Structure 1
Amino acid sequence: MKKIGIVITDGVGFRNFVLSEFLTEISKAYNQVVIYSGLPQENYKEITLPENIEVKELEIFTESRITWFYRKLKEVAHMTLHKNYYGINNNLKRGYPKKNTKRGILTKIAYKIAGIYHTEKAINKYEKLQFNSFKNNTITQRYLSILKESKPDLLFFTHQRPPYLAPFLYCANVLKIHTTSFIFSWDNLASKGRMMGSFNSYLVWSDLMKKELIHFYPNTIPENVKVIGTPQFEPYVMEQYKTQKSNFFQKFNLDASKKVICYSCADAGIGANDAVHIASVMQYINNNPKLNLQLLVRTSPAEDGLRFEPLKEKFPEIKWNIPKWKLARNNHVESWSQRIPSIEDVIDLRSILEFSSLNINMCSTMGLDFMLFNKPVIYTVFGNETNDLYNDQLFLNYVHLEYVIDSKAVAIAKDETELHAYLTEALEQPELRKENREALIKLEISKTLKGTSNRMAKTLMKWS
Structure 2
Amino acid sequence: NRLERKNPKYDYCKQQLQEHQPDLIFCTTQRSTQSISALLAAKDLSIPTIAFVYSWDNVPKAMQVVETDYFCVWSDHMKAQVIQYYSFVKPDKVFVTGTPQFEPHYNTDLFKTREEIFKEHGLDLGKQYICFSGDDETTSPLDQYYLEDLANAVRSLNQKGYNLGIIYRKCPVDLTKRYDAVLKANHDIIVSIDPIWKKMGSAWNEVMPTRDDLGMLVNVCRHSEFVTNVCSSTVFDFVAHQKSCIYYNYEQPQLKKGIRDIGQNYKYVHFRSMPSDEAAVFCTNKQHLESLVEEVLTGKRSNVSEGLKWYEIIVGKTPTEASQNIWQVIKQIVN
TM surpasses 0.5: yes
2:128 to 231, 251, 259: 259
Q: Judge conservation of contact 2:118–2:124 (CA < 8 Å) in 1.
A: yes
Aligned to 2:183: 312
Query: Which residue number in structure 2 is paired with residue 298 of structure 1?
Result: 169
Query: Which residue of the other structure, out of 180, 187, 199, is the alignment partner of 1:327?
Result: 199
Alignment of 1:406-417 (within 5 A): 406-417=276-287
Deviation at 1:396, TM superposition (A): 1.2
Query: Could you list the per-position Cα deviations for residues 439-458 of structure 1 after superposition, in whole angstroms to 9, with x for gaps in the alignment?
Result: 11111111322222111111
* 1:437 positional shift: 1.6
- Give yes or no for the alignment of 1:202 onto 2:74: no
Paired residues of 1:376 and 1:430 also in contact (CA < 8 A): no
Distance in structure 2 (CA, Å) of the matches to 1:405 and 1:311: 35
Shift of 1:341: 2.5
**Do the aligned residues in 2 keep the contact of 1:393 with 1:414 (CA within 8 Å)?**
no
SS of aligned partner of 1:184:
coil
Q: Which residue of 2 aligns with 1:338?
A: 206
Unaligned runs of 5+ residues in structure 1 are 1-130
Residue 241 of structure 2 corresponds to which residue in structure 1? 373
How has the CA–CA distance of structure 1 residues 287 and 163 changed in structure 2, closer, same or farther, with 3 Å as cutoff?
same
Q: For the Cα contact (< 8 Å) 2:42–2:49, is it kept in 1?
A: yes
1:135 corresponds to which letter in structure 2? Answer: R
Deviations along 1:33-92, one digit per CA (max 9) or x if unpaired, are: xxxxxxxxxxxxxxxxxxxxxxxxxxxxxxxxxxxxxxxxxxxxxxxxxxxxxxxxxxxx
SS at match of 1:288: helix
Q: Which deviations, in whole Å up to 9, do the C-alpha atoms of 1:423-447 show, x marking residues without a partner? A: 1221111774332121111111113
Contact kept, 8 Å, 1:383 with 1:390, in 2: the verdict is: no
Q: Which amino acid aligns with 1:322?
A: D
Q: In structure 1, what is the equivalent of residue 119 of structure 2?
A: 250
What is the SS of the residue equivalent to 2:201? coil
Cα deviation digits, residues 111-141 of structure 1 (max 9, x gap):
xxxxxxxxxxxxxxxxxxxx21120222210
Aligned twin of 1:231: 100
* Pick aligned residue for 1:351 from 219, 228, 250: 219
CA distance in structure 1 between the aligned counterparts of 2:89 and 2:300, rounded to whole angstroms: 42
Matches within 5 A, 1:174-189: 174-189=44-59
Opposite residue 353 of structure 1, the aligned amino acid is C
Q: Structure 2 CA distance, aligned partners of 1:232 and 1:340?
A: 12
Specify which of 38, 41, 46 is matched with residue 168 of structure 1.
38
Residues of 2 paired with 1:384 and 1:233: CA distance? Answer: 32
- Aligned partners of 1:291, 1:184: CA distance in 2, in Å? 40
Deviations 1:203-261 (A, max 9, x none): 11111100000000001111121111100111222244222211111122111111110
Contact kept, 8 Å, 1:384 with 1:394, in 2: the verdict is no
Between the aligned partners of 2:265 and 2:175, the Cα distance in structure 1 is 24
User: Does the alignment pair 1:429 with 2:321?
Assistant: no
Corresponding residue number in structure 2 for 1:143: 13
Letter of the 1:257 counterpart: G
Alpha-carbon distance between aligned partners in 2 of 1:336 and 1:421, rounded to the nearest angstrom: 36
Instruction: Give me the whole-angstrom Cα distance separating, in 1, the residues matched to 2:37 and 2:25.
Output: 13
1:124-172 deviations in whole A, cap 9, x for unaligned? xxxxxxx211202222101001111222222111111111211111101
- Number of aligned residues: 329
CA contact (8 A) 1:381 1:392 kept: yes
Mark the CA change 1:430 to 1:456 in structure 2 (over 3 Å): closer, same or farther.
Answer: farther
Tell me the SS of whatever aligns to 2:2.
helix
CA distance in 2, matches of 1:254, 1:135: 55
Structure 2: unaligned runs, 5 residues or longer: none
Identity %: 24
RMSD: 2.0
2:153 and 2:254 map into 1 onto residues whose CA distance is 25
Q: Which residue identity does 2:19 align to in structure 1? A: E
Query: Which residue of the other structure, out of 274, 277, 282, is the alignment partner of 2:151?
Result: 282
Task: Report the secondary structure of 2:131's partner residue.
Answer: strand
Output the amino acid matched with 2:321.
Answer: G
Q: Structure 2: how far apart are the matches of 1:237 and 1:218?
A: 35
- Whether the 8 Å CA contact 2:275–2:309 is kept in 1: the answer is no
1:213 equivalenced with 2:85 (yes/no): no
CA–CA distance in 2 between the matches of 1:236 and 1:300? 19
Is the CA contact 2:231–2:265 (under 8 Å) kept in the aligned structure 1? yes
Q: Which amino acid aligns with 1:168?
A: A
Give TM-score scaled by structure 2 length.
0.92
Q: 1:264 and 1:386 mapped to 2: Cα distance?
A: 20
- Corresponding residue for 2:326? 456
In 2, distance between residues paired with 1:361 and 1:136? 45
Query: Residue type matched to 1:403 in 2?
Result: S
Pairs within 5 Å for 1:1-80:
none
Shift of residue 390, structure 1, vs aligned partner: 4.1
Relative to structure 1, is the Cα distance of residues 382 and 432 closer, same or farther in structure 2, using a 3 angstrom cutoff? closer
- Selected match of 1:152 from 16, 22, 37: 22
Q: Are the counterparts in 2 of residues 384 and 390 from structure 1 also a CA contact under 8 Å?
A: no
Work out the CA distance in 2 between the residues paired with 1:430 and 1:184: 35
Query: Which stretch has the larger CA shift, 252-261 or 201-210?
Result: 252-261
TM-score (norm 1): 0.67
Name the amino acid aligned to 1:247: E
Amino acid aligned to 1:421: S
